[in-house]
Amino acid sequence: MSKPEWLQDLEARSGGRTVLLVEGNVDTGILAHFLTQISPGWDARIVLLPARFKSRVIEAIRDYHHEWAGIVDIDEWSPDDVQKELENATRIKTLPRFCLENYFCVPEELWNALPPVQRQAIDNDPHRLARPILEQLPDWVAHGAMWRVIRGRRRGLLHESGFPTKLDHTPITDLNEIRAILTAWHEQLDPEQIIGEYREELKKAQRLTPDEQLKRYIHGKKFFKQVITHTLNELFGQPTTGTWLQRLSRPDHEVAIPADLREFLTDMLASLGQFP
């Protein structure tokens, strides 16, 4: 099987070390910070590499390197989706939360990630940080509900290429069949059906606690960029989203690792034959 160029590049960058694949460059920085808290010197034995896409993490390990391991965001996947997508890739695990940025969205955890000098700048009052975040949470829970509904629809309608699924896989030349496929495709975009699904999804989301919503329901990447970064900038200055993520995961910051992430990463290291 001919290897894609992106995989050859990852192999070259591995340097013969054990490979832990993640989706993006931001993920490598945050995970490196937390891995150092659990197992100092881990990077002498393991190389953390970004594959750029979830699909590439899965393809690299499932089809080429069974000895590698990978971490992917759970995003909108349901437990059934996880089982289906990772059935033949047992060394790939989904994060306990929606994505890594969700580890900096819970006000209490975000407060603990701030250095003392910044806490002192707002009179050591965590409510000044939490209040503007929680005020916007209901709107972002609604966003999460619609996002899940639309993403679920998209998976059934479109291939990764953006082409209608049934027309993407094999040649179909019969005009009646094409017309039937497009008619069924169009019917799945009925606004009232989508709004009905959205209302049901929103009801489920609203039954969750605020912490559960912030950890596993809201879209952490978007929420961090638009809400957390704005809140931090209002309180402390005007760095970019990327700068804030770097500051919150600095190597000299001994931030307490949330219990779910500590357990997850400890298990991940063990699966690679590395122990904290």
Q: Residue 18: phi, psi to the nearest 5? A: -65, 135
> Which residues lie below 8 Å from residue 47, measured CB to CB, with a gap of 6+?
13, 14, 15, 17, 18, 19, 20
What is the average per-residue pLDDT within 98-118?
92
Any domain includes 205 = yes
Any domain includes 127 = yes
Dig out the tokens for 260 from the structure. 């779910």
pTM of the model: 0.85
Any domain includes 139 = yes
Q: Which helix (H) or strand (E) holds 22?
A: strand 18-22
Pairing of strands 69-72, 92-94: parallel
* pLDDT reported for residue 159: 64
CA–CA separation, 69 and 18 (whole Å): 9
Over the stretch 150-177, which tens digit does the pLDDT of each residue have? 888 777 676 666 677 777 777 888 899 8
Is residue 19 helix, strand or coil?
A: strand
Alpha helices in the chain (DSSP H): 5-14, 25-38, 54-59, 79-85, 107-113, 116-121, 126-157, 165-169, 175-187, 191-206, 210-212, 220-223, 229-236, 241-248, 259-271
CA–CA separation, 180 and 189 (whole Å): 15
- Whether 34 and 261 have beta carbons less than 8 Å apart is answered as yes
- Count the neighbouring beta carbons within 10 Å of the beta carbon of residue 103: 27
Over the stretch 119-133, which tens digit does the pLDDT of each residue have? 999 999 999 999 999
Any domain includes 276 = no
141 pLDDT more than 60: yes
Domain count along the chain: 1
| Confidence grade of residue 36 (pLDDT, cut at 50, 70, 90) | confident
Range of the domain at 123: 5-271
Any domain includes 98 = yes
Over the stretch 172-228, which tens digit does the pLDDT of each residue have? 888 998 898 888 878 778 889 899 999 999 999 999 999 999 999 999 999 999 999
Any domain includes 145 = yes
Mean pLDDT, rounded, of the chain: 87
Q: CA Rg, the chain, in Å?
A: 21
Pairing of strands 46-50, 69-72: unpaired
- Using CA of residue 249, residue 44, residue 61, residue 2, what is the dihedral sign? positive
